[in-house]
Structure 1
C-alpha cells in the first residue's frame, strides 16, 4: 500500500501494472536528482550523456545517428543537442567528407576538461542508490534487463500484429 498512498491511487489492476508505475514514479526521482547534479556543471543529463559517448569514441568522430543510437534517452534530439554543445565549445562539428549530408562530431579539448571535472564528482550520484546493498543493486539491474527484453518482445508482437492488420 506504500506506492498506492504515495501516488494517490486506491488499487492497481495487477502486480505488473504496479511494477510499471513504480518504475515510472522512481524514474522521476532519479531524473530530478541527475538533472540537479549536472546543472551544477552547466549541463543537462542528455548533454553529459552525449559527451560521455563522444569521449569513449575519441578521437574517432561519430554521426548524430550514432549518438542517438547510444543515448540513454532515445527521444533526445541529437542534432539540437550537438548544436548546444557546439555553442558551449564542448564539441567540434565538421562536415563528413564522404557524405555531405552527415557531420562528424568529436569532443573538444574543453569538453574533455568539463567531463573530467564531472568524473571527480560522479560518486555523488551513487548516493541515490545507497539504500540498496550491492547485491540488491545487482539484482535490480538484472530485473530491469528482463523488463527491457520483455518490452522488446512486446514491441515486436505489436509490430507484427500491425503488419498483419495492414496486409488484411
Structure 2
C-alpha cells in the first residue's frame, strides 16, 4: 500500500477526480485497519462493534434485523450472522415477539453494555490518534466535504 501512497503524493498525471477517489479509498482502508487492530484483542469485528453501538442507542428498546441493517455503516454485512455471533458471546439477546411470531426482537445485554464501556475508550483513543494531524477546523471541513460527496 505504500506504493499507492507514493503514487498519490507524486503523480500529477492522474486526473484529480481519480486521485481523490483513490485517496479516499486508501484512507478508508487505513482507518478500518486501525480500528480493527484496536478491536482485535477483544475478538470482535468492526461490524459486530457497530451492531452493539446501534443496540445501545436503542436505550433498552427492542429493535429488529431490518432496522439494524438499515443503520449499519457497512450495508454489505450479514446482520443475522453478526447478531448470532454476538448472542454466542452473551452481548445480545433475541426474542420472538409473542403478538407476532414472525417478528424477532433484539436487545443488548448488560454484559454487552459493560463490554462497550470497556472498549469505547480504546476505540476513541485510536480515532483521536488517527485524526491528530488535523486541527478541529480541518476536521470540521473534512466532515463537511465528505458529507457533501455522499449527497
State TM-score, norm by structure 1.
Answer: 0.80
Structure 1 match to 2:78? 77
Partners of 1:108 and 1:143 in 2: CA distance: 37
2:126 matched to 1:127? no
The counterpart of 1:141, out of the listed 136, 143, 150, is 143
Query: How far does residue 4 in structure 1 lie from its aligned partner after superposition?
Result: 5.5
Q: Unaligned stretches of 5+ in structure 2?
A: none
User: What is the DSSP-based 3-state SS (H/G/I as helix, E as strand, rest coil) of the residue aligned with 2:42?
Assistant: coil
Structure 1 match to 2:67? 66
Structure 2 match to 1:115? 116
- Please report the RMSD computed on the Cα atoms of aligned residues, expressed in angstroms: 2.1
Partners of 1:31 and 1:146 in 2: CA distance: 21
Partners of 1:110 and 1:66 in 2: CA distance: 22
Structure 1 match to 2:33? 32
Flag the structure with more relative contact order, 1 or 2, with Cα contacts below 8 A and sequence separation at least 6: 2
Query: How far does residue 87 in structure 1 lie from its aligned partner after superposition?
Result: 0.5
Larger Rg: 1
Partners of 2:9 and 2:89 in 1: CA distance: 39
Q: Confirm or deny: 8 A CA contact 1:90 1:109 kept in the other structure.
A: yes
Q: Confirm or deny: 8 A CA contact 1:49 1:71 kept in the other structure.
A: yes
User: What is the DSSP-based 3-state SS (H/G/I as helix, E as strand, rest coil) of the residue aligned with 1:80?
Assistant: helix
Partners of 2:36 and 2:110 in 1: CA distance: 24
Q: Unaligned stretches of 5+ in structure 1?
A: 150-168
Partners of 2:95 and 2:10 in 1: CA distance: 51
Structure 1 match to 2:91? 90
Structure 1 match to 2:55? 54
